[in-house]
Amino acid sequence: KAGWSDLDIRAVDTVRVLAADAVQKVGNGHPGTAMSLAPAAYLLYQNVMKHDPADPQWLGRDRFVLSCGHSSLTQYIQLYFSGYGLELADLKALRTWRSLTPGHPEVHHTTGVEVTTGPLGSGLATAVGMAFAQRRVRGLLDPDAAKGASPFDHHVWVIASDGDIMEGVTHEASALAGHQELGNLTVIYDQNTISIEDKTEISFSEDVGKRYEAYGWNVETIDWRGDGDGETYVEDVDALLAACEKSRSASKPTLIILRTIIAWPSPTKQDTGKSHGSALGDAEIAGLKELLGFDPKQNFEVSRELITHVRKVKARGKAAHKEWDKGYKAWRKANADGAALLDRLVARELPAGLAKAVPSFPADPKGVATRAASGKVLGALAGVMPELWGGSADLAESNNTTMEGQPSFIPSEKQTREWSGGPYGRTLHFGIREFGMGLILNGIALSGLTRPYGGTFLVFSDYMRAAARLAAIQEIGVTFVWTHDSIGLGEDGPTHQPIEHIASLRAIPGFDVIRPADANETAAAWLAILQNDRPAGLCLSRQALPTQDPKVAGKVANVSKGAYVLREASSGTPDVILIATGSEVGVAMAAADTLEAAKVATRVVSMPCREWFERQSKSYQEKVLPASVRARVSVEAGVPMGWRDLVGDAGEIIAIDHFGASADAATLFREFGFTPDKVVAAAKRSV
């Protein structure tokens, strides 16, 4: 039993009033859910979750994810109550410039927020990734502890809304959560049956509980609505607490379907679409305050007594942390290697010897596919970098994302003839669920300590684009491995051939798009990606690419600068500069042979990552691309968009601005104009 006092009840009612006041003050926002979920959120922060407001990064803390990010007040008010640093002034500054209380919760911006949410479905799917990470970290550091007895045991709590449940990515992540038997995950689904178009029944009539049972979840229903009309509305927090506590020791994920009335107990706007996304208005708020025993003339009314009471959670958190410290210290004492590893992971330092572990590849005109080189690099890193793990959305062999010999992350009874592993395994199997994969990777990264990667075909970056964007917004070190990066994939045809993808991914702010030219650039790219610890998309070829001189192309310093001179012109000053990425670097190199033979002094610049190049000093940029050399040709098997910035008015762009076709790669490169001859002709026009 929660055993709430009158002050707790008053605190919950204060949440409702503060939510209404805060939205009213700024004039827009989402009051309804914050009001009706007040008891649930208060219960989580005060009675359920293991957390210590004084140490928001406490390793032993539970994680909280507000998947319905629009109801950010649900979290902000609890952070204020719990003493995470938010104060009443911050609530008054809701949704205003530079406030700590933006429209949707933002990680790294507001203390106590673990994840940036807002795009529906994304929070729940990210939380699944956090639950993955908890299990993997436990397996890395403390695999033999009894259930619940490890300092690395914690639970992931999610509040989700009707909108979250409708989204496709929620399906993907929930199916995987059920499959993975994530007993460390509880989703409280606020079934208020109201969304922006009012009653959700207009578009939503599935049996959600049955659906989640089909995924293999435990499903509990707690119906505060009773017969569905407000007369019998009972906020039974004891039932909710019991379901939460039960879920904490479950062997499967739990969905708690909590049937609520949105904006309860707002006198006339409860249970309406209007209360979801609009200020309630002064009259309605006055009515609400009268109903709850607040002074209708006062706004943001919080007594000192109340704050003193709710902030007792700090002492409870401190005590819990202290208790946890005992077990943690005992673990450190007994696990010197584990403790050293943990310290390194917490500091986000790379392992010693990482650079040496990366393989190098001899020059080879035939070469290998960069996806194959990437697979070799991952295999080589497996031993030195236990925090690195990942997998594929059912394309393991095509994406070369499996570290050879590493076990699968999978309940033991779900091993197959092809894949062995266990719950603490390392190789991830996402099934054909790209968007779910992307957000799970984000969740792993946000959980801290480990570093995830995941693969699919580049063309399907479209399916998971919102995940890449959220990785960028959150500035987290997730690596998306996107293979089959051009028409070079060949016969699968236009639906599978990326054309616009490289450019369109480059358009995402704060996201690095890397397209290595050969095996050694691939190896150097992996190293740079890990050093940078930023969101990155690694675009890799299906087809073999010649391995360039490793003394140039293999240098990490070159690759990590984003662009470098791969081949210098025969004379000191080039007549023309060819700029190419990935598989087209080989084309440019062949064109340079022809041009030099025709006495055109030709420099070839390999540009594996434009974002990295743009971060270099102006002097380095000038060294690679001197302003005085205006004859320039870019070559990339993608849309021309963005290349004019580099080649200038006088330059030429070799690109493709239409969809591909089904044929072998050699035919496509020839028919679509990615040949040395075309580059030579363009170079001559540019000169």
Residues 306-325 binding a copy of itself (CB under 8 A) are: none
Given the rule CB under 8 A, which of 46-54, 135-143, 462-470, 617-625 is the region that contacts a copy of itself?
462-470
In angstroms, rounded to a whole number, what is the distance separating the alpha carbons of residues 345 and 491? 43
Residue among 140, 141, 476, 499 that touches a copy of itself (CB under 8 A): 499
Residue among 65, 79, 133, 169 that touches a copy of itself (CB under 8 A): 169
Q: How far is the CB of 157 from a copy of itself (least distance, A)?
A: 21
Q: Are strands 156-161 and 427-429 parallel, antiparallel or unpaired?
A: unpaired
Strand partners, 453: 390, 479
Residue among 211, 259, 318, 332 that touches a copy of itself (CB under 8 A): 211
Q: How far is the CB of 2 from a copy of itself (least distance, A)?
A: 32
Q: How far is the CB of 97 from a copy of itself (least distance, A)?
A: 4
Closer to a copy of itself by CB, 452 or 550: give it: 452
Residue among 89, 149, 214, 334 that touches a copy of itself (CB under 8 A): 214
Check binding of 628 to a copy of itself (CB under 8 A).
no
Residues 51-80 binding a copy of itself (CB under 8 A) are: 69-70
Residue among 50, 433, 567, 603 that touches a copy of itself (CB under 8 A): 433
Check binding of 644 to a copy of itself (CB under 8 A).
yes
Check binding of 664 to a copy of itself (CB under 8 A).
yes
- Catalytically annotated residue among 114, 434, 521, 652: 434
Instruction: Decide if 63 contacts 130 (C-beta within 8 A).
Output: yes
Q: How far is the CB of 282 from a copy of itself (least distance, A)?
A: 19
Check binding of 103 to a copy of itself (CB under 8 A).
yes
In sequence order, what are the residues at sequence separation of 6 or more whose Cβ sits closer than 8 angstroms to the Cβ of residue 470? 116, 119, 122, 126, 439, 442
Give the total residue count for the chain: 687
Cis peptide before 265 (omega within 30 of 0): yes
Residue among 291, 341, 350, 641 that touches a copy of itself (CB under 8 A): 641
Q: How far is the CB of 569 from a copy of itself (least distance, A)?
A: 22
Instruction: Decide if 266 contacts 275 (C-beta within 8 A).
Output: yes
Residues 353-412 binding a copy of itself (CB under 8 A) are: 392, 394-398, 408, 410
In angstroms, rounded to a whole number, what is the distance separating the alpha carbons of residues 498 and 487? 7
Chain Cα centroid distance, residue 38: 28
In angstroms, rounded to a whole number, what is the distance separating the alpha carbons of residues 60 and 332? 14
Residues 112-131 binding a copy of itself (CB under 8 A) are: 116-121
Q: Which of 472, 502, 482, 492 is nearest to 581 (CA)?
A: 502
Closer to a copy of itself by CB, 152 or 613: give it: 613
Binding-residue total with a copy of itself (CB under 8 A): 121
In angstroms, rounded to a whole number, what is the distance separating the alpha carbons of residues 451 and 317? 28
Closer to a copy of itself by CB, 130 or 393: give it: 393
Residues 263-282 binding a copy of itself (CB under 8 A) are: 273
Given the rule CB under 8 A, which of 73-81, 142-150, 262-270, 429-437 is the region that contacts a copy of itself?
429-437
| φ, ψ at 335 (rounded to 5°) | -135, 75
Task: Report CA dihedral (394, 395, 399, 404) to the nearest 10 degrees.
Answer: 70
Closer to a copy of itself by CB, 286 or 641: give it: 641
In sequence order, what are the residues at sequence separation of 6 or more whose Cβ sits closer than 8 angstroms to the Cβ of residue 22? 29, 31, 73, 91, 92, 94, 101, 300
Check binding of 199 to a copy of itself (CB under 8 A).
yes
Check binding of 145 to a copy of itself (CB under 8 A).
no
Residues 221-250 binding a copy of itself (CB under 8 A) are: none
In sequence order, what are the residues at sequence separation of 6 or more whose Cβ sits closer than 8 angstroms to the Cβ of residue 497? 459, 486, 487, 489, 659, 660
Closer to a copy of itself by CB, 356 or 658: give it: 658
For 540, the 3-state DSSP assignment is strand
Check binding of 648 to a copy of itself (CB under 8 A).
yes
Residues 522-551 binding a copy of itself (CB under 8 A) are: none
Closer to a copy of itself by CB, 37 or 93: give it: 93
Q: Which of 571, 568, 608, 572 is nearest to 592 (CA)?
A: 568
Closer to a copy of itself by CB, 509 or 572: give it: 509
- The verdict on whether 413 is a catalytic residue reads no
Residues 146-165 binding a copy of itself (CB under 8 A) are: 162-164
How many CB atoms neighbour CB 191 within 10 A? 23
Q: For residue 600, count CB atoms less than 10 angstroms from its CB and return exposed for 0-12, middle for 13-18, buried for 19 or more.
A: buried
Residue among 249, 308, 531, 667 that touches a copy of itself (CB under 8 A): 667
Element (H, E) at 311: none
Given the rule CB under 8 A, which of 39-47, 211-219, 530-538, 573-581 is the region that contacts a copy of itself?
211-219
Q: Which of 220, 244, 222, 288 is nearest to 23 (CA)?
A: 288
Rounded to a whole number of angstroms, the distance between the first and last alpha carbons of the chain is 81
Residue among 9, 111, 204, 596 that touches a copy of itself (CB under 8 A): 204
Check binding of 20 to a copy of itself (CB under 8 A).
no
Which residue type sits at 293? Answer: G
How many CB atoms neighbour CB 202 within 10 A? 9
- What does the per-residue mask of binding to a copy of itself show for 27-56, with x meaning CB under 8 A? -xx---------------------------
Given the rule CB under 8 A, which of 150-158, 220-228, 310-318, 498-506 is the region that contacts a copy of itself?
498-506
Check binding of 500 to a copy of itself (CB under 8 A).
yes
Chain Cα centroid distance, residue 212: 23
Q: How far is the CB of 561 from a copy of itself (least distance, A)?
A: 20
In angstroms, rounded to a whole number, what is the distance separating the alpha carbons of residues 425 and 407? 5
Q: Which residues are catalytic?
A: 434
